[in-house]
Amino acid sequence: MKTLSDSVIKNSYIPIMAEIQSIERLSKDEMLFRVHLPQPLNHHPGQFVMVGLPGIGECAISISSSPESGKILEMVIRKAGNVTGVLQQLKKSDLISIRGPFGSGFDLDEFRYKKDNGIKDIVIIAGGLGLVPLRSLIIPIMEHKSDYGRIHLIIGSKTPGEALFRSQIQTWRSQPDCSITELVDDPDLQEWDGDIGLVTEPIHKLKIDEKNTLVVLCGPPVMYKFVLMEIKMNFNIPDEHIFVDLERRMRCGLGKCGHCQINHVYCCKEGPVFRYSQLTDLAEALN
């Protein structure tokens, strides 16, 4: 085993510390954290970081800011367990720990519209907190809109109170060739100017060039099965052109600890973004 001794291997468990610039409450359980990093992470859209506090713990959080955001990193933290509960009690200028970025993410190059056989339509379907990681993909597309084809966004939430990033979504509406449908399952007696229903409902109305379309899905586990069924029933889109962003419990982020393993793949390494063609073989992926 002497071959391994060539260089000192980096301790990948030691995080960097980042300063909180602002915390904005988005809904009852969700807060948008904007932090300042000592150096840019250079992430891809759809990647995640391990966020936490030394002595308390870490959890996997999707990066929500654009890859072009430099030393600024945005993420939405939902109160789900111990660590997220503690993070939500932090204030401006407090430090938090960051490791990463981890995971596969999206390759923006594949989404760009190029002449001849380029991608003409991009369909992005987000349910609930699913919008958070997809925002890191939508922002660079919107900012360089002329490089991309038609964009179709379907964004669903349970109630108006849980709908995220509404004012930012409003700014996206002014982009050319961009259709946005916002829905809630239940208006819950609150003011709501969008549609009412499930994210599956507008799918059949999409006007797309099936052969040259990319579909991206992210949402709660129960959403995938029904959305995929609806897509398959109405369109003939190859499985390689459908991307699914999955959630698992992650401990190490390095493809070792086994907690995020779905059949033979590690969600933290090969995922969390998968092509549907990769998942058809993985029995546990969409359950």
Partner 1 sequence: MNAYLSNLNQIESWFFSLAEKQAFFLPRKTQGINYRFEFIDHQQPLDLFSYKPTILPPGKNIFPDGEILFTYNKDNNGHYHFHQGTAIHSQLLAGVRACDLKGIYLLDKAFSDGTKDSHYLQRREKTDIIAFNCTTPCDDHCFCEAAQSLDFQTGADIFITPLFPISSNKEVHKKQQCLLEILTPRGAELIKSLVSQKCSNPQKLIKQALENRPKPFGRQFLTPVKQLSKVIHQEDAESIYQQYAERCFSCGTCNLVCPTCYCFDTKDELNLDGNSGQKTRHWDACLNPGFAEVAGGHNFRADPAARQRHRVRRKFDYLPQRFEQTFCTGCGRCGRQCTTGIDIFDIVNDVYLSIQESKE
Partner 2 sequence: MKPKIAFFDFASCEGCQLALLNCEDILLDLLELVDLVEFREALSEKSAHYNIAFIEGSIHREEDTKRLLDIRSRSQYLVALGACACNGNVQARSNFIAPAENYKLIYGEEARNRVQVDKHYWPLWAHTRVRSVEEVVKVDFHLRGCPMDAGEFLTLVKALLSNQIPHFPANAVCVECKRNANECVFDKGMSCLGPIAYGGCDAVCINNGHVCDACRGLLPYANVDAHNELMLKKGISKEAIQSRYRLFCSAEKISQT
Residues that bind partner 1 (CB under 8 A): 1-2, 4-5, 8-15, 17, 52, 54-59, 80-81, 84, 95, 97, 221, 247-249, 251-252, 254-259, 261-264, 269, 283-284, 287
State the binding partner of 89 from partner 1, partner 2, none, CB within 5 to 8 A by kind.
partner 2
Closer residue to partner 2, CB minimum distance, 52 or 253? 52
Closer residue to partner 2, CB minimum distance, 87 or 141? 87
Nearest distance from residue 221's CB to partner 2, in Å? 22
State the binding partner of 85 from partner 2, partner 1, none, CB within 5 to 8 A by kind.
partner 2
Nearest distance from residue 86's CB to partner 2, in Å? 6
Per-residue burial over 247-263, b = 16 or more CB atoms within 10 Å of its CB, e = otherwise = bbebbbbebeeeebebe
State the binding partner of 118 from partner 2, partner 1, none, CB within 5 to 8 A by kind.
none
Q: Are strands 150-157 and 121-127 parallel, antiparallel or unpaired?
A: parallel
Nearest distance from residue 284's CB to partner 2, in Å? 19
State the binding partner of 263 from partner 1, partner 2, none, CB within 5 to 8 A by kind.
partner 1
State the binding partner of 261 from partner 2, partner 1, none, CB within 5 to 8 A by kind.
partner 1
Q: How far apart are CA 134 and CA 124, in angstroms?
A: 8
The candidate with the shortest Cα–Cα distance to 227, out of 240, 238, 217, is 217
- E strands of the chain, at which residues? 16-25, 30-36, 48-53, 57-62, 72-78, 95-102, 121-127, 150-157, 178-184, 195-196, 213-218, 242-245, 261-262, 265-266, 273-275
Closer residue to partner 1, CB minimum distance, 37 or 257? 257
Residue 97 φ then ψ, to 5°:
-95, 145
Q: Are strands 273-275 and 242-245 parallel, antiparallel or unpaired?
A: antiparallel
Closer residue to partner 1, CB minimum distance, 226 or 235? 226
State the binding partner of 52 from partner 2, partner 1, none, CB within 5 to 8 A by kind.
partner 1
Closer residue to partner 1, CB minimum distance, 58 or 182? 58
CA distances from 228 to 82, 172, 224, 237 (A): 33, 25, 6, 11
State the binding partner of 174 from partner 1, partner 2, none, CB within 5 to 8 A by kind.
none
At 200, is the secondary structure helix, strand, or coil?
coil
Where do contacts with partner 2 occur on this chain (CB under 8 A)?
A: 55-56, 81-82, 85-86, 89
Closer residue to partner 1, CB minimum distance, 157 or 181? 157
At 220, is the secondary structure helix, strand, or coil?
coil
Nearest distance from residue 6's CB to partner 1, in Å? 10
Structure tokens belonging to residue 155: 């964004």
Contacts of 25 (CB under 8 A, 6+ apart): 31, 32
Nearest distance from residue 74's CB to partner 1, in Å? 20
Nearest distance from residue 72's CB to partner 1, in Å? 20
Q: Is the peptide bond before 101 cis (omega within 30 degrees of 0)?
A: yes
Q: How far apart are CA 75 and CA 65, in angstroms?
A: 7
Closer residue to partner 2, CB minimum distance, 86 or 254? 86
Burial of 114 (0-12, 13-18, 19+ CB in 10 A): exposed
